[in-house]
Amino acid sequence: MTQFDRNFLWGSASAAYQIEGAVAADGKGESVWDVWAHLEGKTHEGTNGDIATDHYNRYEEDVALMKKAGLKAYRFSISWTRILPNGTGIVNSEGINFYNRLINLLIENDIQPLVTLYHWDLPQTLQTKYLGWESEQIVHDFTAYAKICFKAFGDRVKYWIVMNEPNIFTHLGYIMGVHPPGKHDEALFLKTYHHTALAHAHTVLAYKEMGLEGQIGSSIAFTPAYSSTSSEADQGALKSYYDIGPWWYLDSYYKGSYPESAIEYYTSQNIEMPFKKADFEIMKAAAEVVDFIGINYYQTAMVAYNPIDGVGISSFNTTGKKGTQKESGIPGLYKTVKNPNIEYTDWDWAIDPDGLRYGLVELKARYDLPILISENGLGAFDTVSSDGAINDDYRIDFLRAHIEACGNAINEGVDLLGYMTWSFTDLLSWLNGFKKRYGFVYVDFESTDLKRIPKKSFYWYREVIKTNGEA
Ligand code: BGP
Protein backbone atom coordinates (compact mmCIF):
# COMPACT_ATOMS: atom_id res chain seq x y z
CA MET A 1 0.00 0.00 0.00
CA THR A 2 1.18 3.51 -0.74
CA GLN A 3 2.50 5.55 2.16
CA PHE A 4 1.54 8.79 0.45
CA ASP A 5 -1.60 10.59 1.49
CA ARG A 6 -4.07 11.12 -1.32
CA ASN A 7 -3.53 14.88 -1.03
CA PHE A 8 0.23 14.50 -1.23
CA LEU A 9 1.68 17.36 -3.27
CA TRP A 10 3.65 15.87 -6.15
CA GLY A 11 5.33 18.73 -7.92
CA SER A 12 8.36 20.54 -9.23
CA ALA A 13 10.06 23.80 -8.35
CA SER A 14 11.70 26.79 -9.99
CA ALA A 15 12.83 30.34 -9.17
CA ALA A 16 12.09 33.59 -10.99
CA TYR A 17 15.63 34.58 -11.92
CA GLN A 18 16.44 31.10 -13.18
CA ILE A 19 13.55 30.89 -15.65
CA GLU A 20 11.67 34.12 -16.31
CA GLY A 21 14.02 36.16 -18.48
CA ALA A 22 12.20 39.30 -19.74
CA VAL A 23 14.58 41.09 -17.48
CA ALA A 24 13.27 44.60 -18.02
CA ALA A 25 9.79 43.87 -19.38
CA ASP A 26 6.62 45.60 -18.25
CA GLY A 27 8.20 47.85 -15.66
CA LYS A 28 10.35 45.28 -13.85
CA GLY A 29 13.10 46.86 -11.75
CA GLU A 30 16.68 45.67 -11.50
CA SER A 31 17.66 42.99 -8.99
CA VAL A 32 21.11 42.37 -7.54
CA TRP A 33 21.40 39.35 -9.82
CA ASP A 34 20.64 41.43 -12.91
CA VAL A 35 23.68 43.49 -12.02
CA TRP A 36 25.97 40.78 -10.62
CA ALA A 37 25.65 38.36 -13.54
CA HIS A 38 26.90 41.10 -15.87
CA LEU A 39 30.07 41.74 -13.90
CA GLU A 40 33.19 40.19 -15.38
CA GLY A 41 33.88 36.62 -14.24
CA LYS A 42 31.12 36.27 -11.67
CA THR A 43 29.16 33.45 -13.26
CA HIS A 44 30.10 30.28 -15.11
CA GLU A 45 30.99 31.16 -18.72
CA GLY A 46 29.37 34.57 -18.22
CA THR A 47 25.84 33.16 -18.21
CA ASN A 48 22.97 35.31 -16.97
CA GLY A 49 19.20 35.26 -16.56
CA ASP A 50 18.35 38.01 -19.07
CA ILE A 51 16.50 35.46 -21.19
CA ALA A 52 16.84 32.20 -19.23
CA THR A 53 14.02 29.91 -20.45
CA ASP A 54 11.90 32.97 -21.32
CA HIS A 55 9.20 31.57 -19.05
CA TYR A 56 7.73 35.06 -18.64
CA ASN A 57 6.62 34.91 -22.27
CA ARG A 58 6.18 31.13 -22.50
CA TYR A 59 4.43 30.33 -19.22
CA GLU A 60 1.34 29.04 -21.03
CA GLU A 61 3.40 26.43 -22.86
CA ASP A 62 5.14 25.51 -19.60
CA VAL A 63 1.89 25.13 -17.67
CA ALA A 64 0.48 23.00 -20.50
CA LEU A 65 3.48 20.70 -20.06
CA MET A 66 2.92 20.61 -16.30
CA LYS A 67 -0.65 19.59 -16.94
CA LYS A 68 0.56 16.89 -19.29
CA ALA A 69 2.92 15.60 -16.61
CA GLY A 70 0.01 15.56 -14.15
CA LEU A 71 1.72 17.82 -11.58
CA LYS A 72 -0.37 18.38 -8.49
CA ALA A 73 1.73 21.35 -7.41
CA TYR A 74 4.18 23.82 -8.85
CA ARG A 75 6.55 25.88 -6.75
CA PHE A 76 7.77 29.17 -8.24
CA SER A 77 9.08 32.43 -6.83
CA ILE A 78 7.84 35.95 -7.24
CA SER A 79 10.34 38.45 -8.49
CA TRP A 80 10.22 41.28 -5.93
CA THR A 81 11.16 43.86 -8.55
CA ARG A 82 8.29 42.93 -10.85
CA ILE A 83 5.93 43.86 -7.99
CA LEU A 84 7.95 46.77 -6.58
CA PRO A 85 10.56 47.91 -9.13
CA ASN A 86 12.48 49.80 -6.44
CA GLY A 87 11.82 47.40 -3.61
CA THR A 88 9.40 49.75 -1.87
CA GLY A 89 6.84 52.33 -2.95
CA ILE A 90 4.70 52.15 -6.05
CA VAL A 91 3.29 48.77 -7.00
CA ASN A 92 3.76 47.77 -10.63
CA SER A 93 0.38 46.45 -11.75
CA GLU A 94 1.94 44.65 -14.73
CA GLY A 95 3.90 42.51 -12.29
CA ILE A 96 0.78 41.69 -10.30
CA ASN A 97 -1.01 40.86 -13.56
CA PHE A 98 1.68 38.42 -14.64
CA TYR A 99 1.52 36.39 -11.44
CA ASN A 100 -2.29 36.54 -11.46
CA ARG A 101 -2.29 35.06 -14.95
CA LEU A 102 0.14 32.33 -13.91
CA ILE A 103 -1.67 31.48 -10.66
CA ASN A 104 -5.07 31.39 -12.35
CA LEU A 105 -3.81 29.19 -15.14
CA LEU A 106 -2.27 26.75 -12.67
CA ILE A 107 -5.48 26.55 -10.68
CA GLU A 108 -7.57 26.05 -13.83
CA ASN A 109 -5.32 23.09 -14.55
CA ASP A 110 -5.67 21.65 -11.02
CA ILE A 111 -2.10 22.52 -10.13
CA GLN A 112 -1.65 23.95 -6.65
CA PRO A 113 0.61 27.03 -6.72
CA LEU A 114 3.32 27.04 -4.01
CA VAL A 115 4.76 30.52 -3.90
CA THR A 116 8.22 31.53 -2.71
CA LEU A 117 8.50 35.19 -1.77
CA TYR A 118 12.27 35.43 -1.83
CA HIS A 119 14.53 33.39 -4.05
CA TRP A 120 17.58 35.68 -3.94
CA ASP A 121 16.68 38.45 -6.43
CA LEU A 122 16.91 41.38 -4.04
CA PRO A 123 15.95 44.78 -5.50
CA GLN A 124 19.19 46.52 -6.48
CA THR A 125 17.77 49.81 -5.18
CA LEU A 126 17.75 48.42 -1.64
CA GLN A 127 21.29 47.13 -2.00
CA THR A 128 22.42 50.57 -3.14
CA LYS A 129 20.36 52.46 -0.60
CA TYR A 130 21.22 50.62 2.62
CA LEU A 131 23.25 47.50 1.68
CA GLY A 132 20.24 45.24 1.54
CA TRP A 133 20.30 42.43 4.10
CA GLU A 134 23.00 44.21 6.12
CA SER A 135 20.49 46.75 7.39
CA GLU A 136 17.58 45.96 9.69
CA GLN A 137 15.47 48.19 7.45
CA ILE A 138 15.19 45.23 5.09
CA VAL A 139 13.01 43.42 7.62
CA HIS A 140 10.44 46.17 7.38
CA ASP A 141 10.62 46.50 3.60
CA PHE A 142 10.47 42.78 3.02
CA THR A 143 7.43 42.36 5.25
CA ALA A 144 5.67 45.18 3.41
CA TYR A 145 6.39 43.47 0.08
CA ALA A 146 5.13 40.15 1.46
CA LYS A 147 1.89 41.75 2.59
CA ILE A 148 1.32 43.13 -0.90
CA CYS A 149 1.67 39.59 -2.26
CA PHE A 150 -0.64 38.12 0.39
CA LYS A 151 -3.24 40.73 -0.44
CA ALA A 152 -2.95 40.24 -4.19
CA PHE A 153 -2.72 36.44 -4.34
CA GLY A 154 -3.61 35.12 -0.88
CA ASP A 155 -7.19 34.28 -1.83
CA ARG A 156 -5.87 31.60 -4.19
CA VAL A 157 -2.39 30.68 -2.99
CA LYS A 158 -2.57 28.19 -0.11
CA TYR A 159 1.15 27.50 0.40
CA TRP A 160 3.70 30.23 0.99
CA ILE A 161 7.45 29.84 1.32
CA VAL A 162 8.85 33.04 2.77
CA MET A 163 12.59 32.51 2.26
CA ASN A 164 14.43 30.14 -0.02
CA GLU A 165 17.69 28.86 1.44
CA PRO A 166 18.63 31.91 3.49
CA ASN A 167 21.60 29.85 4.71
CA ILE A 168 22.96 29.48 1.19
CA PHE A 169 22.55 32.99 -0.13
CA THR A 170 24.06 34.61 2.96
CA HIS A 171 26.93 32.10 3.05
CA LEU A 172 27.69 32.50 -0.64
CA GLY A 173 27.23 36.27 -0.54
CA TYR A 174 29.05 37.10 2.69
CA ILE A 175 31.55 34.29 3.38
CA MET A 176 32.50 32.79 0.04
CA GLY A 177 31.89 35.96 -1.95
CA VAL A 178 30.55 34.10 -4.98
CA HIS A 179 27.02 35.55 -4.88
CA PRO A 180 26.15 39.22 -4.60
CA PRO A 181 27.38 41.30 -2.88
CA GLY A 182 30.61 39.26 -3.03
CA LYS A 183 31.93 39.86 0.49
CA HIS A 184 34.04 37.80 2.90
CA ASP A 185 32.99 38.73 6.39
CA GLU A 186 31.75 36.32 9.03
CA ALA A 187 30.11 38.97 11.19
CA LEU A 188 28.14 40.23 8.22
CA PHE A 189 27.14 36.69 7.38
CA LEU A 190 25.68 36.24 10.87
CA LYS A 191 24.01 39.62 10.72
CA THR A 192 22.39 39.14 7.32
CA TYR A 193 21.25 35.66 8.26
CA HIS A 194 19.69 37.03 11.41
CA HIS A 195 17.85 39.63 9.36
CA THR A 196 16.41 36.87 7.17
CA ALA A 197 15.20 35.10 10.32
CA LEU A 198 13.54 38.32 11.48
CA ALA A 199 12.02 38.95 8.06
CA HIS A 200 10.65 35.40 8.06
CA ALA A 201 9.24 35.84 11.58
CA HIS A 202 7.55 39.18 10.88
CA THR A 203 6.14 37.85 7.62
CA VAL A 204 4.74 34.70 9.21
CA LEU A 205 3.09 36.81 11.92
CA ALA A 206 1.72 39.28 9.35
CA TYR A 207 0.26 36.40 7.34
CA LYS A 208 -1.44 34.94 10.40
CA GLU A 209 -2.81 38.37 11.33
CA MET A 210 -4.41 38.67 7.91
CA GLY A 211 -6.42 35.54 8.64
CA LEU A 212 -5.99 34.04 5.19
CA GLU A 213 -6.62 30.40 4.67
CA GLY A 214 -3.32 28.73 3.89
CA GLN A 215 0.00 27.50 5.21
CA ILE A 216 3.31 29.25 5.56
CA GLY A 217 6.93 28.28 6.19
CA SER A 218 10.45 28.80 4.81
CA SER A 219 12.84 26.52 2.96
CA ILE A 220 16.27 25.82 4.37
CA ALA A 221 18.98 23.95 2.46
CA PHE A 222 19.44 20.92 4.68
CA THR A 223 22.55 18.76 4.46
CA PRO A 224 22.42 16.05 7.13
CA ALA A 225 25.77 14.61 8.10
CA TYR A 226 27.58 11.57 9.49
CA SER A 227 30.86 11.51 11.36
CA SER A 228 33.62 9.83 9.45
CA THR A 229 34.65 7.61 12.40
CA SER A 230 33.30 6.95 15.88
CA SER A 231 36.32 8.64 17.49
CA GLU A 232 35.55 11.31 20.06
CA ALA A 233 37.19 13.94 17.89
CA ASP A 234 35.04 13.14 14.85
CA GLN A 235 31.88 12.90 16.94
CA GLY A 236 32.69 16.32 18.36
CA ALA A 237 33.23 17.61 14.84
CA LEU A 238 29.79 16.33 13.89
CA LYS A 239 28.19 18.18 16.80
CA SER A 240 29.97 21.40 15.81
CA TYR A 241 28.84 20.93 12.21
CA TYR A 242 25.20 20.64 13.26
CA ASP A 243 25.25 23.50 15.76
CA ILE A 244 27.02 25.94 13.45
CA GLY A 245 25.22 24.67 10.37
CA PRO A 246 21.75 23.05 10.20
CA TRP A 247 20.62 23.76 13.77
CA TRP A 248 21.75 27.37 13.62
CA TYR A 249 19.68 27.87 10.48
CA LEU A 250 16.67 25.81 11.46
CA ASP A 251 16.44 26.64 15.18
CA SER A 252 16.29 30.37 14.49
CA TYR A 253 13.32 29.87 12.17
CA TYR A 254 11.60 26.98 13.90
CA LYS A 255 12.44 27.39 17.61
CA GLY A 256 13.19 31.10 17.75
CA SER A 257 16.69 30.63 19.19
CA TYR A 258 20.27 29.78 18.21
CA PRO A 259 22.30 26.84 19.57
CA GLU A 260 24.25 27.95 22.67
CA SER A 261 27.44 26.12 21.71
CA ALA A 262 27.59 27.97 18.39
CA ILE A 263 27.07 31.32 20.10
CA GLU A 264 29.95 30.41 22.42
CA TYR A 265 32.15 29.49 19.49
CA TYR A 266 31.53 32.78 17.64
CA THR A 267 32.02 34.74 20.84
CA SER A 268 35.34 32.97 21.41
CA GLN A 269 36.35 34.15 17.95
CA ASN A 270 35.49 37.74 18.92
CA ILE A 271 32.68 37.85 16.37
CA GLU A 272 29.94 40.18 17.41
CA MET A 273 26.49 38.62 17.77
CA PRO A 274 23.89 40.51 15.73
CA PHE A 275 20.82 39.98 17.88
CA LYS A 276 18.88 41.89 20.53
CA LYS A 277 16.84 40.19 23.25
CA ALA A 278 13.57 41.48 21.81
CA ASP A 279 14.28 39.73 18.49
CA PHE A 280 13.82 36.36 20.14
CA GLU A 281 10.32 37.22 21.27
CA ILE A 282 9.27 37.81 17.67
CA MET A 283 11.15 34.74 16.43
CA LYS A 284 9.58 32.53 19.09
CA ALA A 285 6.10 33.91 18.42
CA ALA A 286 6.51 33.04 14.73
CA ALA A 287 7.95 29.61 15.54
CA GLU A 288 4.78 28.85 17.49
CA VAL A 289 2.45 29.52 14.57
CA VAL A 290 4.52 28.54 11.52
CA ASP A 291 2.89 25.68 9.60
CA PHE A 292 5.67 23.66 8.04
CA ILE A 293 9.39 23.29 7.53
CA GLY A 294 10.53 23.47 3.92
CA ILE A 295 13.75 21.68 3.13
CA ASN A 296 15.81 21.56 -0.01
CA TYR A 297 17.66 18.29 0.07
CA TYR A 298 20.39 17.36 -2.35
CA GLN A 299 23.02 15.47 -0.40
CA THR A 300 24.61 14.52 2.90
CA ALA A 301 28.05 15.38 4.23
CA MET A 302 30.66 13.29 5.98
CA VAL A 303 32.41 15.21 8.70
CA ALA A 304 35.76 14.77 10.43
CA TYR A 305 37.80 16.70 12.96
CA ASN A 306 39.72 19.58 11.41
CA PRO A 307 42.87 20.71 13.25
CA ILE A 308 43.44 24.37 13.96
CA ASP A 309 45.87 24.58 11.03
CA GLY A 310 43.46 22.57 8.83
CA VAL A 311 41.42 23.50 5.78
CA GLY A 312 39.16 26.53 5.51
CA ILE A 313 36.21 27.14 3.21
CA SER A 314 37.04 26.14 -0.37
CA SER A 315 35.30 26.99 -3.59
CA PHE A 316 32.82 24.70 -5.36
CA ASN A 317 33.19 22.51 -8.38
CA THR A 318 31.22 24.61 -10.87
CA THR A 319 32.54 22.89 -13.98
CA GLY A 320 31.11 19.37 -13.67
CA LYS A 321 34.63 17.91 -13.70
CA LYS A 322 34.16 15.12 -11.19
CA GLY A 323 36.71 14.92 -8.41
CA THR A 324 37.69 18.59 -8.44
CA GLN A 325 35.85 19.56 -5.24
CA LYS A 326 38.31 20.08 -2.38
CA GLU A 327 37.76 19.45 1.30
CA SER A 328 36.24 22.39 3.10
CA GLY A 329 35.85 23.25 6.76
CA ILE A 330 36.32 25.44 9.79
CA PRO A 331 39.80 25.11 11.33
CA GLY A 332 39.69 23.77 14.87
CA LEU A 333 36.17 22.35 14.42
CA TYR A 334 35.30 20.22 11.44
CA LYS A 335 35.81 19.58 7.76
CA THR A 336 33.76 17.72 5.20
CA VAL A 337 35.47 14.69 3.67
CA LYS A 338 34.59 12.31 0.88
CA ASN A 339 32.18 9.56 1.92
CA PRO A 340 33.77 6.30 0.71
CA ASN A 341 30.44 4.46 0.76
CA ILE A 342 28.55 6.45 -1.85
CA GLU A 343 28.65 7.78 -5.38
CA TYR A 344 29.02 11.41 -6.37
CA THR A 345 27.58 13.46 -9.23
CA ASP A 346 29.78 15.18 -11.81
CA TRP A 347 29.60 18.28 -9.59
CA ASP A 348 30.79 16.19 -6.62
CA TRP A 349 27.47 16.20 -4.80
CA ALA A 350 26.98 13.04 -2.70
CA ILE A 351 24.15 10.82 -3.94
CA ASP A 352 22.50 9.59 -0.76
CA PRO A 353 18.77 8.80 -0.88
CA ASP A 354 18.76 7.22 2.57
CA GLY A 355 20.25 10.46 3.86
CA LEU A 356 16.92 12.06 3.04
CA ARG A 357 15.05 9.58 5.24
CA TYR A 358 17.64 10.04 7.97
CA GLY A 359 17.40 13.85 7.75
CA LEU A 360 13.60 13.87 7.77
CA VAL A 361 13.54 11.68 10.86
CA GLU A 362 16.05 14.02 12.57
CA LEU A 363 13.85 17.03 11.78
CA LYS A 364 10.75 15.30 13.07
CA ALA A 365 12.54 14.53 16.35
CA ARG A 366 13.83 18.09 16.77
CA TYR A 367 10.90 20.22 15.57
CA ASP A 368 7.88 17.93 15.22
CA LEU A 369 6.33 19.92 12.37
CA PRO A 370 4.98 18.88 8.97
CA ILE A 371 7.71 18.97 6.32
CA LEU A 372 7.65 19.96 2.68
CA ILE A 373 10.49 18.82 0.46
CA SER A 374 10.69 21.99 -1.57
CA GLU A 375 13.64 20.84 -3.73
CA ASN A 376 15.36 17.58 -4.59
CA GLY A 377 16.98 16.63 -7.86
CA LEU A 378 19.98 15.64 -9.90
CA GLY A 379 22.10 18.06 -11.90
CA ALA A 380 23.56 16.33 -14.95
CA PHE A 381 24.90 16.82 -18.47
CA ASP A 382 21.94 15.57 -20.53
CA THR A 383 22.33 14.77 -24.20
CA VAL A 384 19.84 14.47 -27.00
CA SER A 385 20.22 11.18 -28.84
CA SER A 386 20.04 10.87 -32.64
CA ASP A 387 16.31 10.08 -32.49
CA GLY A 388 15.68 13.27 -30.53
CA ALA A 389 15.05 11.55 -27.18
CA ILE A 390 16.66 12.42 -23.85
CA ASN A 391 17.12 9.15 -22.01
CA ASP A 392 17.90 10.36 -18.51
CA ASP A 393 17.64 7.00 -16.73
CA TYR A 394 20.17 8.21 -14.15
CA ARG A 395 17.69 10.94 -13.13
CA ILE A 396 14.87 8.42 -12.86
CA ASP A 397 17.06 6.19 -10.65
CA PHE A 398 18.00 9.14 -8.49
CA LEU A 399 14.46 10.42 -8.01
CA ARG A 400 12.95 6.96 -7.54
CA ALA A 401 15.36 6.20 -4.71
CA HIS A 402 14.61 9.54 -3.05
CA ILE A 403 10.86 9.02 -3.31
CA GLU A 404 11.32 5.61 -1.73
CA ALA A 405 13.22 7.34 1.07
CA CYS A 406 10.25 9.70 1.53
CA GLY A 407 7.97 6.67 1.89
CA ASN A 408 10.32 5.19 4.48
CA ALA A 409 10.35 8.46 6.42
CA ILE A 410 6.54 8.53 6.39
CA ASN A 411 6.60 4.99 7.78
CA GLU A 412 8.80 6.30 10.57
CA GLY A 413 6.21 8.91 11.49
CA VAL A 414 7.25 11.94 9.42
CA ASP A 415 4.33 14.14 8.34
CA LEU A 416 5.31 14.91 4.74
CA LEU A 417 3.22 17.40 2.79
CA GLY A 418 4.80 17.05 -0.59
CA TYR A 419 7.80 16.52 -2.80
CA MET A 420 8.99 19.16 -5.28
CA THR A 421 11.63 18.05 -7.71
CA TRP A 422 14.19 20.58 -8.82
CA SER A 423 13.28 21.42 -11.51
CA PHE A 424 10.42 21.17 -14.01
CA THR A 425 12.16 22.55 -17.09
CA ASP A 426 15.90 22.91 -17.37
CA LEU A 427 16.95 26.34 -16.21
CA LEU A 428 19.86 28.58 -15.30
CA SER A 429 22.05 27.39 -12.45
CA TRP A 430 23.35 30.39 -10.49
CA LEU A 431 26.98 29.31 -10.51
CA ASN A 432 27.01 26.49 -13.05
CA GLY A 433 25.36 28.02 -16.10
CA PHE A 434 22.97 26.23 -18.47
CA LYS A 435 24.81 22.93 -18.85
CA LYS A 436 23.96 21.57 -15.43
CA ARG A 437 20.43 20.37 -16.11
CA TYR A 438 17.80 19.29 -13.61
CA GLY A 439 14.51 19.34 -15.53
CA PHE A 440 11.94 16.82 -16.70
CA VAL A 441 11.75 19.03 -19.77
CA TYR A 442 14.86 19.67 -21.83
CA VAL A 443 15.28 23.25 -22.98
CA ASP A 444 17.36 23.70 -26.11
CA PHE A 445 19.24 26.84 -25.12
CA GLU A 446 20.96 26.89 -28.51
CA SER A 447 17.73 27.20 -30.46
CA THR A 448 16.16 30.63 -30.94
CA ASP A 449 12.73 29.36 -29.89
CA LEU A 450 14.12 27.72 -26.72
CA LYS A 451 12.45 24.49 -27.70
CA ARG A 452 11.06 22.33 -24.89
CA ILE A 453 11.40 18.53 -25.16
CA PRO A 454 10.05 16.20 -22.44
CA LYS A 455 12.75 13.79 -21.27
CA LYS A 456 12.24 10.13 -20.40
CA SER A 457 11.96 11.16 -16.72
CA PHE A 458 8.96 13.35 -17.60
CA TYR A 459 6.91 10.30 -18.56
CA TRP A 460 8.21 8.35 -15.59
CA TYR A 461 7.20 11.10 -13.11
CA ARG A 462 3.77 11.20 -14.70
CA GLU A 463 3.36 7.54 -13.72
CA VAL A 464 4.65 8.22 -10.22
CA ILE A 465 2.00 10.87 -9.77
CA LYS A 466 -0.74 8.79 -11.37
CA THR A 467 -0.01 5.88 -9.04
CA ASN A 468 0.58 8.10 -6.01
CA GLY A 469 4.19 7.07 -5.60
CA GLU A 470 4.05 3.45 -6.69
CA ALA A 471 5.84 3.65 -10.06
C1 BGP B 1 19.37 25.39 -4.55
C2 BGP B 1 18.66 26.61 -5.06
C3 BGP B 1 18.13 26.49 -6.43
C4 BGP B 1 18.96 25.65 -7.38
C5 BGP B 1 19.47 24.38 -6.74
C6 BGP B 1 20.46 23.61 -7.55
O7 BGP B 1 20.38 25.78 -3.70
O8 BGP B 1 17.58 26.94 -4.19
O9 BGP B 1 17.86 27.79 -6.88
O10 BGP B 1 19.87 26.37 -8.07
O11 BGP B 1 20.05 24.64 -5.49
O12 BGP B 1 21.74 24.12 -7.38
P13 BGP B 1 22.76 24.35 -8.55
O14 BGP B 1 22.05 25.17 -9.55
O15 BGP B 1 23.91 25.07 -7.92
O16 BGP B 1 23.15 23.01 -9.02
Using the atom order of ligand 1, give the atom closest to the CA of residue 120. Answer: 9
Strands annotated E in 271-429: 292-296, 301-305, 328-330, 334-337, 371-375, 416-422
| Residues with Cβ within 8 Å of residue 182, at least 6 apart in sequence | 36, 42, 173
Active-site choice (375, 412, 446, 470): 375
pLDDT digits (tens, 9 = 90+) for 170-212: 999 999 999 999 999 999 999 999 999 999 999 999 999 999 9
Using the atom order of ligand 1, give the atom closest to the CA of residue 347. Answer: 16
Residue 1 has pLDDT above 70, yes or no: no
pLDDT digits (tens, 9 = 90+) for 78-136: 999 999 999 999 999 999 999 999 999 999 999 999 999 999 999 999 999 999 999 99
Dist. CA 264 → ligand 1 center (Å): 31
Q: How would residue 2 be classed by pLDDT, with cut points 50, 70 and 90?
A: low
Using the atom order of ligand 1, give the atom closest to the CA of residue 18. Answer: 9
181 preceded by a cis bond (ω within 30 of 0): yes
Dist. CA 331 → ligand 1 center (Å): 27
Whole-angstrom distance, CA of residue 368 vs CA of residue 219: 16
Closest Cα to atom 14 of ligand 1: 429
Whole-angstrom distance, CA of residue 328 vs CA of residue 222: 17
Q: Is 384 helix (H, G, I), strand (E, B) or coil?
A: coil
Q: Helix 246-254 crosses helix 353-367 at what angle (to 10 degrees)? A: 40
Dist. CA 311 → ligand 1 center (Å): 25
Q: Which of 247, 76, 245, 99 is nearest to 164 (CA)?
A: 76
Strands annotated E in 78-129: 112-118
Q: In CATH, which of 3.40.50.280, 3.40.309.10, 3.40.50.300, 3.20.20.80 is domain 9-466?
A: 3.20.20.80
- The residue whose CB lies within 8 Å of the most ligand 1 atoms, and thus the one to mutate among 430, 434, 437, is 430
438 within 8 A of 422, measured Cβ to Cβ: yes
pLDDT digits (tens, 9 = 90+) for 144-180: 999 999 999 999 999 999 999 999 999 999 999 999 9
Dist. CA 430 → ligand 1 center (Å): 7
Closest Cα to atom 15 of ligand 1: 429
Residue 470 has pLDDT above 90, yes or no: no
pLDDT digits (tens, 9 = 90+) for 225-238: 999 999 999 999 99
375 is annotated as an active-site residue: yes
Is the whole-model pTM more than 0.95? Answer: yes
pLDDT attached to residue 463: 98
pLDDT digits (tens, 9 = 90+) for 327-373: 999 999 999 999 999 999 999 999 999 999 999 999 999 999 999 99
Q: Element (H or E) spanning 225, and its range?
A: strand 225-227
Q: Which residues lie with the beta carbon below 6 Å from any ligand 1 atom?
A: 15, 18, 164-165, 168, 221, 296, 375, 379, 422, 429-432, 436
Dist. CA 428 → ligand 1 center (Å): 9
Task: Return the percent helix, strand and coil in the chain, to nearest 5.
Answer: 40, 15, 40
Residue 429 has pLDDT above 60, yes or no: yes
Dist. CA 303 → ligand 1 center (Å): 22
AA identity, residue 11: G
Task: Give first-to-last CA distance, the chain, whole Å.
Answer: 12
CB atoms under 10 Å from CB of 414, counted, come to 21
Dist. CA 268 → ligand 1 center (Å): 33
Q: Is 178 helix (H, G, I), strand (E, B) or coil?
A: coil
- The residue whose CB lies within 8 Å of the most ligand 1 atoms, and thus the one to mutate among 114, 375, 423, is 375
Q: How would residue 471 be classed by pLDDT, with cut points 50, 70 and 90?
A: confident
Q: Which of 314, 49, 32, 353 is nearest to 192 (CA)?
A: 32
pLDDT digits (tens, 9 = 90+) for 393-422: 999 999 999 999 999 999 999 999 999 999
- The residue whose CB lies within 8 Å of the most ligand 1 atoms, and thus the one to mutate among 12, 169, 422, 434, is 422
Q: How would residue 460 be classed by pLDDT, with cut points 50, 70 and 90?
A: very high
Q: Which of 453, 428, 449, 427 is nearest to 441 (CA)?
A: 453
pLDDT digits (tens, 9 = 90+) for 240-298: 999 999 999 999 999 999 999 999 999 999 999 999 999 999 999 999 999 999 999 99
What DSSP string runs through 440-463? SEEE-TTSTT--EEE-HHHHHHHH
pLDDT attached to residue 70: 98
pLDDT attached to residue 3: 86
- The residue whose CB lies within 8 Å of the most ligand 1 atoms, and thus the one to mutate among 168, 318, 429, is 429
Domain spans of the chain?
Answer: 9-466
